[in-house]
Amino acid sequence: MRARVVVTGLGVVSPIGIGISDFWKAALAGQSGISAISSFDPFPMEGYRSKVAGQVRDFAVERFIDSVQGERVDRYAQFGLVAAKEALADSGLQMAKENPHRVGVIVGAGMGGMVMGEREITQLYQQHKPHRVHPNFIPAITLNSASGIIAMAHGAKGPNLTISTACSSSAHALGQALHCIREGRADVVIVVGADASITPLVFAGFCSLRALSSKYNDNPEKASRPFDRLRDGFVMGEGAGTLILESASHAKKRKARVYAEIAGYAATNEAYHMVIPREDGLEVAHTMKLALADAGLTPAQVDYINAHATSTTIGDAVEVKAIRQLFKSRADKITISATKSLIGHTLGAAGAIGGIASVLALHTGKIHPTANYDDPDPACALAGLSRSAQERRVKVALLNAFGFGSNNAAVVFKQATAEGRRSKG
């Protein structure tokens, strides 16, 4: 029998709070983390179509990380370090007691070290001084800088991978970690999703794609509105989420508190278009179905869906169409929420942060609101969506994540059985 895998620790850096306690409190209150971008210092926002984002404000890595390591990596990896530190502490795992080769790190990141990347490129092109390119430029922009620095910070010598599939990156990180532990290649995997690319060039690129909301520049908290009739594109966010995954037997042996079991995962590709989803929703429905089958569950058992729901016109409609195809009459009995309505789209971090919301829904029986779901779009309306927090005993939760490149992922969490659970704490 394959190993069961459980979630034993959580950590987060988000636009609505650094730390799980602040994040969850703000999420349940429906607090928006979306605000105006004042400037891309030293130049103004005037030429940008969108001027709002879910920014992590007043973040200083030295407040959280003692080591100088934190200052040598880019902002996204700093977020990852902070979220990983919290999650490890939350899990009670003591690395000194672990076989370090049995602890892995898998990071999902869509963009990587763009803060330093853009700065160095700009300086080189303006000043033509190649000898002034920072010696840390290459290590910082290399996409596995976060998975590397997190391993170094905690002495995790097991499998170390970075997965980059745009906005579904960390959902795949969760899935690959599940496989890794199931296959017996690790006892514990620190799963991180991280991105911090609200930077002049990346933000301009998303504006040029006409993917971002531009109607609510004067009312930022209203800009991210998944499933609402007046949505007009996604809002960029930044942050990191960490989930500690470990085999149920390992968690039991060390008497760890178990939040939930991660029970299923599916990865597919629509082989259709770089940025546009198939409008029939068939591939999304297929992906959710595969993940449930992997978990040994049926659509009839799902209580909660943490939707990908970026607030784009077609993306939200396709996801609902797929949910209706797969769940049929049960579609309106499932509780649904869109974490991006609160924090924007954190790209590579989105799967992990959505995973945290899913795990907390299972663990606490509370589901955060979908902000700005004021006027349900008939193409997207589902009875289980609400702009208020909801309470429900959730036994099975499904996480959706889709990315550019026609990429789809779905992850299934379920309530931990009594045997692995130490307390509800």
Partner 1 sequence: MATDPTISLKIRTALAEYLKRDPDQILVAQHLRDDLGLDSMAVIELLYRIEEAFDLQIPDHDLAGMTTVGHVVSYVEKRLGKSAPAAPIKKSGKSLKATKPAKQSKPSKPKSKKKS
Q: Residues with catalytic annotation? A: 167, 308, 345
Q: By CB under 8 A, tell whether 108 contacts partner 1.
A: no
Give the footprint of partner 1 on residues 285-344 (CB under 8 A). 310, 312-315
Cβ atoms < 10 Å from Cβ of 373: 26
CB 23 within 8 A of CB 14: yes
The least CB distance from residue 399 to partner 1, in Å, is 16
* DSSP of 177-209: HHHHHHTTS-SEEEEEEEE---SHHHHHHHHHT
Q: Which is nearer to partner 1, 46 or 66 (CB)?
A: 46
Question: Which listed residue (214, 301, 364, 386) binds partner 1 by CB under 8 A?
Answer: 214
* Residues with Cβ within 8 Å of residue 337, at least 6 apart in sequence: 304, 306, 307, 357, 361, 367, 368, 369, 370, 385, 386, 390
The least CB distance from residue 273 to partner 1, in Å, is 7
Question: Which listed residue (24, 64, 203, 234) binds partner 1 by CB under 8 A?
Answer: 234
Nearest 10 degrees: Cα torsion 36, 389, 301, 241 = 40
Q: Which is nearer to partner 1, 375 or 391 (CB)?
A: 375
Radius of gyration of the chain (CA): 20
Question: Which listed residue (46, 58, 66, 419) binds partner 1 by CB under 8 A?
Answer: 46
The least CB distance from residue 206 to partner 1, in Å, is 8
Q: Count CA within 13 A, CB hemisphere, residue 79.
A: 36
Q: Could you tell me the sign of the dihedral formed by the alpha carbons of 252, 256, 257, 263, in that order?
A: negative
Q: Which is nearer to partner 1, 8 or 406 (CB)?
A: 406
The least CB distance from residue 216 to partner 1, in Å, is 9
How many secondary structure helices (H) and strands (E) does the chain include? 12, 15
The least CB distance from residue 323 to partner 1, in Å, is 16
Strands (E), 165-302: 188-195, 239-247, 260-269
- Pattern 344-363, partner 1, x by CB under 8 A: -x------------------
Judged by CB under 8 A, the stretch of 41-49, 59-67, 90-98, 119-127 that binds partner 1 is 41-49
- Pattern 115-144, partner 1, x by CB under 8 A: ------------------------------
Q: By CB under 8 A, tell whether 167 contacts partner 1.
A: yes
Question: Which listed residue (72, 215, 254, 330) binds partner 1 by CB under 8 A?
Answer: 215
CB 346 within 8 A of CB 237: yes
Q: Could you tell me the sign of the dihedral formed by the alpha carbons of 124, 74, 165, 280, in that order?
A: negative
Q: By CB under 8 A, tell whether 47 contacts partner 1.
A: yes
Do you find a cis peptide bond into 376, omega within 30 degrees of 0? no
Residues across the chain: 425
Q: By CB under 8 A, tell whether 277 contacts partner 1.
A: yes
Q: By CB under 8 A, tell whether 232 contacts partner 1.
A: yes
Which residues are at the interface with partner 1 (CB under 8 A)? 46-47, 49, 166-167, 208-215, 230-234, 273-277, 310, 312-315, 345, 402-404, 406
